[in-house]
Amino acid sequence: MSGSRLRIVFVISLLILGSLVMLAVLRPLASAEEYSVVSRESIIRGEDQWIIQLDIVNQEKRDMSYVLRWSSGGADYTEKILVREGRIYSHIRHVYPAMVQEGKVDLTIYREGEAIPFEQSIYYLK
């Protein structure tokens, strides 16, 4: 590879790096800034339970209230949460086999006052 070609590759790599830095600073990847997102959703299988955890990131440039509803047929749980602008709220749900009917757990998240959920998940737990 000639020196000039190497420089070109290097410059390209710097441009890519610069772009990534810009992404990091400006975060344009979160293009739906006006919407909240559920992130870092995960399920941990414990000795005698499942642990479902998630974060709600409020990117809506204002404080938002949500109603979060867990339903497993056995033990339902509802919680209203207020997530301040730009803040991240964490939620963890412990699910025990005795609580699970039909092998699944439903999670529905509504913006307060809205009938249509903005997030709906079904966790099949076996």
Partner 1 sequence: MSNKLSGISWRRRYPGIMLAVALVLVGVPLFPPAPVKAGTPDDAYTIERYYTENANEQSTASTTYQDALTLTFTPPVTKDYLVIATALNNNSSTSYATVAQFTIDGTTYSEAFHQPVNASLNWHSFASHKVIQLTGGSSHTVKIQYRTENAAGTAYIKNAALAVIEVTNYYTAEQETEITTTSTSYVDAVALNFSPSSQADYLMLVSADLASTSAGKDADAQWTIDGVADSGVVHNGTNYMCWSSVERENLTAASHTFKIQYKTSVPASAKIRYARITAVLASDLGFLRYAESEAESVTQSITYVDKTTLSYTASRRHDDINIASGLGKQENSSYAFYANVDRDGVSGGETVFVPGSARIYRSFMLMSKQNTASGVTTHKIQWKTNNAAANTEAFIQNANIAHLEINSAESYNDSAHTTVDDSFGPGENTAYIWAHGLRAGNTYTVAYYDGNPTGGGQKVATDTGISSTAYGNLSSQYLLTTDYGAAAGTWHAVVFDEEFLPGLGPPDNYNDAATTSGYVQGDSFEVTQAAIPEFPTVLAAIAVAGTCFAVYGWMRKRRLAYVRVTP
Please say which residue, 26 or 116, places its beta carbon nearer to partner 1: 26
Distance CA 106, CA 95 (A): 11
Which residues lie near partner 1 (CB under 8 A)?
A: 1, 3, 6, 9-10, 12-14, 16-17, 20-21, 23-25, 27, 29, 40-42, 44, 46, 48-49, 51, 53, 55, 67, 70, 75, 77-82, 84, 86-96, 99
In angstroms, the Cα distances linking 54 to 37, 39, 42, 50, 88 are 10, 6, 6, 13, 10
> Toward partner 1, which CB reaches closer, 13 or 101?
13
